[in-house]
Amino acid sequence: MDKYSFLEITAFAGIFLVLLLALFLLTVKTKYKLRNCLLAFFLFTNAVDALKFLQREFPVNYINLEAFRWSIVYLVPASFYLYVLSVCYYNFRLKRKHLLHAIPFVAYNLYLMWGIYFVDRASKIDFINGMNDMPLMQFFQFLFEFLFQVYFIASFLVIRKSKTVYLENYTNPNISILNALYTITILYYVLHFIVLIRWLVTFIFGLGEIRAWIVMLDGFAFLFCTCWYLFVALNNPEFFRGVNSDLKPITEVVPKQKSTSLIVEEKNEQIEFLKNFMVEREPYLDSSLTIQDLSEQVKMSVKDLSTLINLYMDKHFFDFVNEYRIEKAMQILKDPSQKELTVLEILYYVGFNSKSSFNTSFKKYTGKTPTDYRKQAL
């Protein structure tokens, strides 16, 4: 088997998996229909672009289809960005303004109409042979690279902001899933970096052996990214709870204030009241507790409560609540009368809804696993 046959098999496997996952996303019954459709569209555009790995020669009998395949890449980074928005914010909806993301795709196809779509075959071939030297084509190539960088940087920023908002406003957020999305974004960025290397090698060395090996690496990376995404999706079937897009990190909402003795005294009183409330009323036992819920219980605005916890106590809401949950779990674990309770029963009772997040938080707070702590305490 030569390297071209290996590339074709790898590409075919990757395209098959991508299309299979896209079909599943479009047909599965779920409340996350929009994000599934956006992901399916993103995967489909990648599958169409990956058809290049199955071509040993230029498809002269399907020039128009091949030219349209070139234009599809202008939708890839935009669709991924919209997908990131949809999974990070549960109230994200597509609006008319989002059609603006399709302008480069439409503009490029209008350019191809003049040079390829509506001309005879000989004119098509002449246009293709000379298009790399055309200033407008060079502009479109630069535009694609610029848009790719902008969209993926924007995706990183959205994920980071979403994680901050999660920690400041929710308990039991699955941060590991946000980290998985971050990793997937990096993988697709690496995949694009391989494409950049291929372009550079083609420019310097032409269509030689080095480029052929890089193309094979590109095809293998495409298959690897697809398999990684399948792995993440299968291990996290819900794949994101999402946060309210109207929420902002507290540092963007509250201006920095000068500390005065009066302000410090007032905040200390509020902190003491909040701590006593948490101990006496135990609101943290509610696994779905949010900062909005707690603000209603303590009769304090969400903004003031978030400022108190995140700025004056220097803790995320997530860590603030989970400290009380861990303290409660520690009490139960070292109580001989409750030794019949399993660790799983305890974690659900104190407000956690995930064994992994409970173990991570418990070890971070105590330096021990729940089982080891119970053995030493009893």
pLDDT digits (tens, 9 = 90+) for 300-316: 888 888 888 888 888 88
Highest mean pLDDT among 39-53, 166-180, 231-245: 39-53
Report which of 88, 91, 130, 375 is spatially closest to residue 240, judged by C-alpha positions. 88
Are the beta carbons of 304 and 257 closer than 8 angstroms?
A: no
| Domain at 3-235: CATH code | 1.20.1070
Portion of the chain with pLDDT greater than 70, in percent: 80
**Residue extent(s) of CATH 1.10.10.60 domains in the chain:** 250-377
Residue 258 has pLDDT above 60, yes or no: no
pLDDT per residue over 39-66, tens digit each?
A: 889 889 888 888 877 777 778 888 999 9
Q: What integer pLDDT is reported at residue 71 of this predicted model?
A: 93
| Domain at 250-377: CATH code | 1.10.10.60
Report, as an integer, the average pLDDT of 174-185: 73
Residue 270 has pLDDT above 50, yes or no: yes
**Residue extent(s) of CATH 1.20.1070 domains in the chain:** 3-235
Confidence grade of residue 72 (pLDDT, cut at 50, 70, 90): very high
Distance (Å) of CA 333 to CA 186, 320, 338, 370, 375: 40, 21, 7, 8, 9
* 367 DSSP assignment: S
C-alpha 35/C-alpha 15 separation (Å) is: 21
Highest mean pLDDT among 127-131, 188-192, 227-231, 265-269: 127-131
Q: How high does pLDDT run on average in the chain? A: 81
Confidence grade of residue 339 (pLDDT, cut at 50, 70, 90): confident
Report, as an integer, the average pLDDT of 254-270: 65
Q: What per-residue string of b and e applies to 345-367 under the rule 16 or more CB within 10 Å gives b?
A: ebbbbbbbebeebbbebbeebbe
**Lowest-confidence segment of 125-129, 161-165, 242-246, 248-252 by average pLDDT:** 242-246
Are the beta carbons of 241 and 33 closer than 8 angstroms?
A: no
